[in-house]
Amino acid sequence: MKFRVERDALAEAVAWTAKSLPNRPSVPVLAGVMLRVTDGNLRVSGFDYEVSSQVTVEVQGDADGAALVSGRLLAEITKALPAKPVDIAAVGAHLELVCGSARFTLPTMPVEDYPALPEMPQSAGTVDAAAFATAVSQVAIAAGRDETLPMMTGVRVELSGSTLSMLATDRYRLALREIQWQPDDPEVSINALVPARTLNDTAKALGPLGGEVTLALAQGAAGEGMVGLAGGTRRTTSRLLDGANYPPVRSLFPATHNAAARVPVSTLIEVVKRVALVAERATPVLLSFSADGLVVEAGGSEEARASEAMEATFTGDALTIGFNPQYLIDGLANLGSQTAVLSFVDAFKPAVISPAGEDGEVIPGYRYLIMPIRVSR
């Protein structure tokens, strides 16, 4: 194998593929990225039996072939190279990389020991890449991080006709986003539970490329289903999580509310961050709404306290409610609007945060539900 490639294209391809490699691979070859040159195209791929990543780059190929090298090491090297063309050649049990006057010799691993990447599942449809990336980031923030509860670490993807819905929850908050997409089958009705981290990383990488993302799904028995995402020259596959017993979380959204507040998003985020400086871990910030506006308060150790008032438009009976400050900030920061509408049933029921337009009306499509923390005053 021997080829020449632009430094930036190589660095981006290797960095994206290496990002999904396991930190503690079950076998050494899974820590590698496969470089395979065929007919002037370099295919960089990685696989850990759960997630596969693959990207294709145009190169000046002198000799077709393949080599398997440490993914993280190659990513660090290519990122640090000078802005010049890179010449790479497989020589015996080593890979030689030359860029300007910089020269690296890396050991290779046996290509024949590397597992074959899974095929892309059957396409279900396409969705605008930028809209998809935004929607995924809005939802993935609410997914759980506790690996002992794998179901909560996923994003539930619901395909129903031309509507693509995504939900995620860690039991303390819940995010729901609905967007339009182009299904291959107008009557499609499929649900799948996709690992949130993989979905978010992939959508984040495909969004800036523009164009459309192809969403592919293969339903199977528990642990056998697969999702595929492809855009431009990149594609990713991942095993689905077992979502057979995913709770009916949509029912958590209240049908009606007794009070509502309209607040400027950036101001509330800044106020919560400031006031929360005195709050200890797991200590809530208190939001007191009234006709006069909003007062945000927090208390910490050794009687450290903070409070700050800000403007807010409030309708309903005066209300004081406590939230985890980081969960509140996460919801506000991902609204994508300058104004937020906070809807309440009472101080002990979940509150819903929605984006609002310049007219103050709620923009449909995204809702972020947050559980209150009971406080004694």
Separation between Cα atoms, residue 296 and residue 288, nearest integer Å:
6
User: Model-level pTM?
Assistant: 0.91
Model confidence over 20-60: pLDDT tens digits?
A: 898 888 899 999 999 999 999 999 999 999 999 999 999 99
Report the distance separating Cα 290 and Cα 197, nearest Å: 39
**pLDDT, average across residues 67-71:** 97
Architecture per CATH, 123-250: Roll (3.10)
User: What per-residue confidence (pLDDT) applies to 375?
Assistant: 76
Does residue 222 have a pLDDT over 70? no
Instruction: Provide the mean pLDDT of the chain.
Output: 94
Strand order in the sheet with 313-315: 189-195, 154-160, 163-169, 173-180, 366-370, 351-356, 339-344, 259-264, 313-315
pLDDT, average across residues 294-313: 89
Domain ranges of the chain: 2-109, 123-250, 253-370
Fold identical between 2-109 and 123-250?
A: yes
pLDDT tier for residue 374 given thresholds of 50, 70 and 90: confident
Q: Which CATH architecture has domain 253-370?
A: Roll (3.10)
pLDDT at 266 (0 to 100): 97
For residue 322, is pLDDT > 90? yes
Q: Write the pLDDT tens digit of every residue in 142-197.
A: 999 998 899 999 999 999 999 999 999 999 999 999 999 999 999 999 999 999 99
- Token pair 């179901």 is found at 151
> DSSP 3-state assignment of 282?
coil
**Which CATH superfamily includes the segment(s) 2-109?**
DNA Polymerase III, subunit A, domain 2 (3.10.150.10)
- Considering only 75-84, 238-247, 258-267, which range has the smallest mean pLDDT? 238-247
Q: Which stretch of DSSP H or E encloses residue 74?
A: helix 71-80
Compute the radius of gyration of the chain from its Cα atoms: 24
The percent of residues in the chain predicted with pLDDT above 70, rounded, is 97
- pLDDT of the residue at 151: 93
